């Protein structure tokens, strides 16, 4: 099958995640909770006028939650989403990274309240996306520690990575129309922690 045949191959209902940074398709796929029987087409290092080269994922009969969409935006802010119904593109939208992430990633500071052995708080991060994606980072709101883009990818690549219990900042209006994870609140006694930010 040629690149042209691969790209124009249509699906009846589902999604197309396009303009993924080259080499990141399998990371994106790991962020999605897909049925084991889902029909998935992955194209790697396809020519792109916009990016030079890109990855592409087509998924038959599946749709995404707001959490999945936002995490895709964190891994590949260049990505776009096409929603397909009855062989036609019903909607196109750019995938944008979240403004905040709750949980999901581990703070690098061992003394952070989110890493407490007893009644840990859920880590909350402010997302900073840079023009050079490698300089993008997460700022822990509990202790000020910084997790860089490369470390985020390393955590996603881990076999024990899970998105359970996480949440995302959904303040922007363009999030409407997607399932929203319920907010979770909790409290814990104040524990000692370092004021010096950690970097990873």
**What is the model's pLDDT at position 111?**
92
Domains, the chain, ranges and CATH?
12-94 (3.30.70.140), 100-175 (no CATH)
Binned at pLDDT 50, 70 and 90, residue 163 comes out as low
Binned at pLDDT 50, 70 and 90, residue 35 comes out as confident
CA 87 to chain centre: 27
- In 32-191, where do the E strands start and end? 39-48, 52-60, 80-85, 88-94, 100-102, 124-128, 137-140, 146-148, 167-168
Range in 37-51, 76-90, 130-144, 178-192 the model is least confident about: 178-192
Binned at pLDDT 50, 70 and 90, residue 144 comes out as very high
d(CA 120, CA 186): 10
- Residue 177 reports pLDDT greater than 80: no
- Residue 190 reports pLDDT greater than 90: no
Taking a C-beta distance cutoff of 8 angstroms, is the pair 95, 157 a contact? no
- Residue 194 reports pLDDT greater than 60: no
Range in 48-62, 121-135, 159-173 the model is least confident about: 159-173
Binned at pLDDT 50, 70 and 90, residue 179 comes out as very low
- Convert the pLDDT of each residue in 63-102 to its tens digit: 888 888 888 998 998 899 999 988 889 989 888 888 998 8
Binned at pLDDT 50, 70 and 90, residue 104 comes out as confident
Range in 7-21, 85-99, 173-187 the model is least confident about: 173-187
């Amino acid at each position: 099958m040629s690149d042209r045949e691969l790209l124009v191959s249509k699906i009846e209902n589902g999604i197309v995640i396009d303009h993924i940074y080259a080499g990141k398709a399998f990371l994106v796929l790991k962020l999605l909770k897909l049925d084991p029987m889902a029909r998935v087409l992955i194209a790697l290092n396809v020519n792109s006028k916009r990016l030079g080269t890109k990855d592409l994922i087509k998924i038959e009969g599946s749709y995404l939650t707001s959490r999945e969409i936002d995490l895709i935006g964190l891994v590949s802010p260049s990505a776009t989403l096409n929603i397909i119904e009855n062989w036609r593109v019903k909607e196109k939208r750019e995938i944008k990274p979240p403004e905040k992430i709750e949980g999901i990633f581990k703070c690098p500071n061992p003394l952070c309240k989110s890493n407490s052995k007893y009644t840990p708080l859920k880590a909350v991060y402010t997302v900073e996306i840079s023009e050079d994606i490698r300089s993008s980072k997460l700022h822990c709101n509990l202790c000020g520690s910084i997790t860089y883009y490369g470390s985020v990818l390393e955590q996603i690549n881990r076999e024990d990575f899970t998105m359970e219990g996480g949440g995302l900042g959904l303040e922007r209006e363009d999030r409407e129309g997607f399932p929203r994870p319920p907010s979770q609140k909790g409290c814990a006694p104040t524990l000692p922690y370092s004021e010096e930010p950690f970097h990873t």
